[in-house]
């Protein structure tokens, strides 16, 4: 009889996912571009921040509830948009969206998802967020925005740092494709992942659901591959945001901000929130970690926009440190993918429980009872990132 493994932290999920998910899809999630230096620093820079312990403080009646984009949330955490989520686990985006809804946090669906916008809308009751990549085919992008509106999405998360694709060595070596090509290496690896294979045989969702059948000329995997390679738009610039904003007409979040000047641009174009993010270290290797860039972006953005941070968050302690440095919210990507790949919807739920518990207990040790009262004073060394990108 199968016994569920004891899961106590996000690292437990990572190890289990590595065992259960086919290599090319595990590596897709667990990798960065080039040397992976920025990917590693996203995590390690959180560890450099030290917490100030306080004792003999009344820490009863604690609350980690807050608001993100005007939405009441169980904790200042949202699930980030992640591509190919449905290849970590069959129907992965649906499972993640359901877990997030039940827990009371936002879920963001990627343009490059396996399950479509309509799939998520059919399996949830609360509005979710949709993440948009701007492609050369502006007609397709306009219709994609319209589909998100029709599905009741409550925010559009526009990713700005994928005009060109950063090279990820593992994806090239693995011959990443969805579904996997029937090469000898892939077949041998899939033979060691029987649970994944059985689950995948039980779903029809095995390719990019938002694209196939919706973009002109994309009807199968071969046409999808060529279309995708040609579609990321290096000409995207701040002037393009106006027509996107007008076509969408709702809450707009800009993702991929690492520079103070760009933060001010985000304010000027009327965005409702910005996300300090280096794409999980998957684009510009050598860029600063997200947490080290956060204080400078918070200062530049001022009070006119919500500032969130994405990249390297593996615990509730990381969430607390981000809030201490001025973030109003955080997003989790790999922590979500590890837990999904390891244990499906139950894994995502357990992941959120772990992060919430770590956040709550750590906040208590720091002498705070309300997440809104967390500031730089809970850190012993908040100044280490006061210079832009300092690490």
Among left, alpha and beta (phi > 0; psi -120 to 50; other), residue 213 is: left
For 289-328, b where at least 16 C-beta lie within 10 A, e where not — what string?
bbbbbbbbbbebbeeebbbbbbbbbbbbbbbbbbbbbbbb
Say whether 279 is catalytic: yes
Residue 63 and residue 371 in contact, taking contact as beta carbons nearer than 8 Å = yes
Q: Give the span between the Cα atoms of 310 and 316, in whole angstroms.
A: 13
Bridge-based pairing of strands 155-159 and 251-257 is parallel
Catalytic residue selected from 89, 123, 279, 372: 279
Sign (positive or negative) of CA dihedral 241, 244, 246, 252: negative
Give the residue from 57, 46, 29, 40 showing the smallest Cα distance to 358.
46
How many CB atoms within 10 Å of residue 157?
25
Residue 390 and residue 60 in contact, taking contact as beta carbons nearer than 8 Å = no
- Asked if residue 179 has a cis previous peptide bond (ω within 30° of 0), the answer is yes
In three-state secondary structure terms, 190 is helix
Residue 21 and residue 199 in contact, taking contact as beta carbons nearer than 8 Å = no
How many CB atoms within 10 Å of residue 128?
25
How many CB atoms within 10 Å of residue 386?
12
Q: Give the span between the Cα atoms of 254 and 266, in whole angstroms.
A: 7
For helices 316-324 and 37-48, angle between their N-to-C axes, nearest 10 degrees: 80
Residues serving a catalytic function are 279
């Amino acid at each position: 009889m199968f016994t569920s493994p004891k899961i106590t932290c996000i690292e437990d999920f990572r190890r289990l996912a590595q065992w259960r998910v086919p290599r090319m899809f595990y590596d897709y999630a667990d990798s960065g571009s080039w040397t992976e230096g920025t990917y590693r620093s996203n995590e390690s820079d959180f560890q450099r921040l030290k917490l100030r312990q306080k004792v003999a403080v009344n820490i009863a009646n604690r609350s980690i509830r807050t608001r993100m984009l005007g939405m009441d949330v169980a904790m200042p955490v949202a699930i980030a948009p992640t591509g190919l989520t449905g290849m970590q686990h069959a129907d992965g985006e649906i499972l993640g969206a359901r877990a997030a809804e039940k827990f009371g946090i936002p879920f963001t669906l990627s343009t490059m998802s396996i399950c479509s916008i309509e799939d998520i809308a059919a399996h949830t009751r609360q509005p979710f967020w949709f993440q948009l990549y701007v492609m050369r085919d502006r007609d397709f992008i306009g219709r994609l925005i319209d589909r998100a509106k029709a599905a009741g999405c409550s925010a559009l998360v526009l990713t700005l740092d994928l005009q060109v694709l950063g090279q990820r060595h593992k994806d090239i070596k693995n011959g990443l494709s969805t579904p996997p090509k029937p090469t000898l290496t892939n077949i041998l690896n899939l033979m060691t992942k029987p649970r994944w294979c059985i689950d995948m045989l039980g779903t029809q969702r095995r390719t990019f659901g938002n694209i196939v059948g919706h973009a002109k000329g994309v009807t199968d995997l071969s046409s999808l591959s060529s279309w995708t390679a040609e579609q990321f738009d290096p000409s995207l610039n701040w002037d393009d945001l106006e027509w996107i904003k007008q076509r969408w007409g709702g809450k707009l979040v800009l993702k991929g901000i690492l520079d103070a000047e760009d933060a001010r641009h985000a304010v000027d174009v009327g965005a409702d929130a910005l996300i300090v993010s280096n794409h999980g270290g998957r684009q510009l290797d050598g860029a600063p970690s997200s947490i080290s860039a956060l204080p400078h972006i918070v200062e530049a953005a001022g009070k006119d926009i919500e500032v969130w941070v994405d990249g390297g968050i593996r615990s509730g302690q990381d969430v607390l440190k981000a809030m201490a440095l001025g973030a109003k919210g955080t997003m989790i990507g790999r922590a979500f993918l590890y837990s999904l790949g390891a244990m499906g919807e139950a894994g995502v739920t357990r992941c959120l429980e772990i992060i919430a518990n770590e956040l709550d207990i750590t906040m208590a040790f720091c002498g705070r009872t309300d997440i809104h009262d967390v500031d730089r004073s809970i850190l012993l060394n908040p100044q280490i990132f006061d210079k832009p990108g300092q690490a």
